[in-house]
Amino acid sequence: MARAATTSDAFNAVAEPRRREILNYLALQERPVGEIVDSLGLAQPSVSKHLRVLLEVGLVDVRRDGRRMFYRTNAEAIRPLHEWTETFERYWRHQLSGVKERAERKSNASKEGEPDFSSRRKHDLDSRKN
Q: Which domains does the chain have, with CATH numbers?
A: 10-74 (1.10.10.10)
Q: Please determine, for residue 43, whether its predicted confidence score (pLDDT) is greater than 90.
A: yes
Using CB atoms within 10 Å of the CB of residue 70, give its burial: 0 to 12 exposed, 13 to 18 middle, 19+ buried. Answer: middle
Encode pLDDT of 9-33 as tens digits: 888 898 999 999 999 999 989 999 9
Q: Give the pLDDT mean for 32-37.
A: 95
